Structure 1
Amino acid sequence: MSPSRPAAGPPPLHRDRGTRRAGWAAPRLARYPAGGTTADGQASLEDARLSANSSSTDLVEAGWNDVRADGRLRPELIEAAYAEPRLRQLFPWTGMGELHFSRCTGKRWTWDIPYVAADPAGGYQVSGPLRGQTVGSAATPVEAIAMVVERLPVRCGPAFIGTPEDLAAHEAASARQARLAESPEGAE
């Protein structure tokens, strides 16, 4: 057992940029019995992070379970995103009533993929990847998800275990290796 987790009870409150969201914490935590799993028996993200043997797939799947249990997004949006294989392999997270996707599993997460928010008047708004960028409106969750998929970065997924900084270092090292392999000196 990890010293950072209590012996019994729900996982710690979700943190969104370091603040506690008490308004939704109680309903969310009520879904977690003493074992730290959701009501349907799925492992929570906290459980996956505490496991030394967690793979990217385990962490991503636990992230999807947490997004579903969170209760802040329309279930049909979450399921439309999960049904898309290219998004299902990315790490999902929520913030400000929006569904985001990250190319890595560690916080601060990446901000290079558009995100989706439910429009209070109906439909969905696709924005990003940066806050000031608007992609457009969609009438259905499937249309909104298609707009995100059209704008995925090249060679996107599966999610990398680590932070955006770890991912950037990994991508730089991979690019250096590829350049060396292509150069005449690297072929010797």
Structure 2
Amino acid sequence: MAGDEARTRAAEIVAAKWKAILDSGDELINPTMPRAAYANPRLRELFPIVSHGALYLSRCIRPPRAHDVGALFRRGGGGFMVIRHSDGTVLGEPETVEEAINLIVANLPDVCGPAIDGTADDL
């Protein structure tokens, strides 16, 4: 695939995945989490994954994925936790989802653009 065609295809896959998550209601995840992430233009370009009620974002759409973007978890007692799984760093435990999203954005990798149609090895 040519560069522009690959970027367009990756953007379509990312958009479809966001739509599926946003349309899922509260069955997979508290809907405020993906809605808040999707509202941020930088995070909207990343590939979203929901697992066990947490929101993960990746710079690539194929496994193995990079784990260098903060993942968003709800804390049992209230509030949120943001963890970067590539090195196990807890980036913070903010009280609001908006603060959690800002924390993820503030800790994005230096060369973080739209998700690519590839794996972590292709970054």
Q: Same fold (TM over 0.5)?
A: yes
Residue 175 of structure 1 aligns with which residue? Answer: none
TM-score by length of 2: 0.84
* Distance apart, 1:131 and its partner CA: 6.4
* TM-superposed deviation, 1:136: 1.3
Query: Per-residue displacement from partner, 1:84-115 (whole Å, max 9, x unpaired)?
Result: 00000000112232111110111221111111
Q: For 2:66 and 2:52, how far apart are their aligned partners in 1?
A: 16
Amino acid at match of 2:109: P
1:133-172 deviation digits (Å, cap 9, x = unpaired): 211111111110000000001121211012222x23xxxx
Is residue 2:67 matched to residue 1:111?
yes
Unaligned runs of 5+ in 1: 1-53, 169-188
Distance 2:95 2:101 in 1: 11
Give the conservation status (yes or no) of the 8 Å contact 2:54–2:73: yes
Match of 1:184 in 2: none
CA distance in 2: counterparts of 1:142 and 1:124, whole angstroms: 10
- Equivalent positions of 1:127-166 (< 5 A) are 127-130=83-86, 132-165=88-121
How many correspondences in the alignment? 114
CA separation of 1:96 and 1:130: change in aligned 2, threshold 3 A:
farther
Structure number with greater CO (CA < 8 Å, separation at least 6) is 2
Larger Rg: 1
Alignment correspondent of 2:35: 79
User: 1:107-138 deviations in whole A, cap 9, x for unaligned?
Assistant: 22111111110112111111113363211111
Whichever residue aligns with residue 112 of structure 2, its letter is: C
Post-superposition shift, 1:82?
Answer: 0.2
Distance (whole Å) between structure 2 residues aligned to residue 142 and residue 75 of structure 1:
13
Q: How many percent identity over aligned positions?
A: 34
- Unpaired segments of 5 or more residues in structure 2? 1-7
Cross-structure match for 2:80: 124
